[in-house]
A and B are shown apart, each in its own frame.
Chain A
């Protein structure tokens, strides 16, 4: 595969499979190693349109690596990742970067807002990087902060906000480009129970309203319970036995 060719479609228009039937995102037998240490040892998983999937497993199981491969941040050593019929895993870095900007939103455990910018400026950032004019970007950012219940903090810097408010602003930033898939890596890991509940319930509500698929990475069953389905990763493999499907 030419890594710099446009992302090819595996399902040309007019094919037998309709968009509604096809998973938004799928991984087939993906393998990834950090040096000589295998992290994923042949993982296959599918995410449907508007589906909320919780990927669970203990620390070091490979669940975050799986998310990074699904999101096109990492290129698997073997296997395919496909988004809406397009092969992501063999695309060039610039193509995957463009895909992440337009179709994927990523939310990490510690928000990772830019401390020098206000909440609205942080949320507007992905739009500004995509060429949207500042005024329109700030307006859209404020709307998304409102959807996550933190519009009152639009002019606040992250240091002036609570952990839960920062994380909701970070979720707004991940959603501002209206992605098809939101990836959330331990989104409540740094929060107390009630702040975590607010973040999760807002993410689920907004995702349901916008038919966004969500991939939640978590080791916490109470977070996994927000998902429609659980995929358990252990030792770099899907543990079918543990998710109840293989039983």
Chain B
């Protein structure tokens, strides 16, 4: 993700200083890695050198001086082009679950791999319940609903893979677990 374009996007509605931008980023993009102040100031410096933003005033309240930046016409054009660009779909995303299941098969057996995959599946569904509660709460801001939708879609993809992996291992190695009288 381009931090520069994200910061320019946050400047699109009006001038802000670095401290404000960092706060706005972390509040709006819940679940994203919080920006470090150093990263914010270094990025602002780079954007200013490129002519995409310009310093318009120094705010002097309590504490240190804060430089307020605003988007230039060149910055606005670059931002518009970036927003329209397609992000390349990643063909091979990292899959720590497959790695762990494979290692479980190597160091243990199918039961060990299945136990891990079942626990992972339950943890995924728990997390999906949390995001579902967030997105269906009428007071949740749109930015968080969109983030929750994205997280749910990814968890759903993982869950489908976990189901298939469990089916493969179960079908190959042992029959279905028998049921007992009470599941609650």
Contacts and interface: CB of A to CB of B under 8 A. Distances in A.
Name the residue in A45, A204, A237, A242 with the highest tally of chain B Cβ atoms < 10 Å from its Cβ: A242
B183 A45 contact: yes
B50 interface: no
Contacts of A224: 125
Contacts of B155: 221
B70 interface: no
Interface string A205-227: 10000000000000001101111
A156 interface: no
Interface residues of A, number: 36
Name the residue in B115, B178, B183 with the highest tally of chain A Cβ atoms < 10 Å from its Cβ: B183
Contact of A244 (B122, B129, B159, B181): B122
A23 B182 CA distance: 12
A241 B128 contact: no
Nearest to B126: A244
A126 B114 CA distance: 47
Interface string A225-236: 111011100110
A65 to B, nearest CB: 15
Given A221-B128, A237-B179, A241-B177, 13 more contacts: A23-B184, A44-B179, A44-B182, A197-B136, A204-B136, A222-B128, A222-B132, A226-B129, A231-B183, A234-B176, A237-B178, A239-B176, A244-B123
A237 B152 contact: no
Contacts of A221: 125, 128, 155-156, 159-160
Interface of B: 114-115, 118-119, 121-123, 125, 128-129, 131-132, 135-136, 152, 155-156, 159-160, 166, 176-184
A247 B115 contact: yes
Contacts of A240: 177, 179-180, 183
Nearest to B160: A221
Contact of B121 (A44, A222, A226, A242): A242
Contact of A225 (B114, B152, B179): B152
B181 A241 contact: no
A29 B119 CA distance: 26
A205 B138 CA distance: 11
Interface of A: 23, 28-29, 42-46, 48, 197, 200-201, 204-205, 221-222, 224-227, 229-231, 234-235, 237-247
Contact of B122 (A42, A239, A243): A243
Contacts of A204: 136
B147 to A, nearest CB: 15
A48 B182 CA distance: 13
A227 B125 CA distance: 10
30 contacts: A28-B181, A29-B181, A43-B179, A44-B179, A44-B180, A44-B181, A44-B182, A44-B183, A45-B184, A200-B136, A221-B128, A221-B155, A221-B156, A222-B132, A222-B156, A225-B128, A237-B178, A238-B179, A239-B177, A239-B179, A241-B114, A241-B176, A242-B118, A242-B121, A243-B183, A244-B123, A244-B125, A247-B115, A247-B118, A247-B119
A110 to B, nearest CB: 23
Contacts of B114: 241
A113 B183 CA distance: 35
A201 B136 CA distance: 6
B160 to A, nearest CB: 8
A181 to B, nearest CB: 15
Nearest to B119: A247
B152 A222 contact: yes
B183 A225 contact: no
Nearest 6 interchain pairs by C-beta: A244-B122, A225-B128, A201-B136, A241-B177, A238-B179, A225-B132
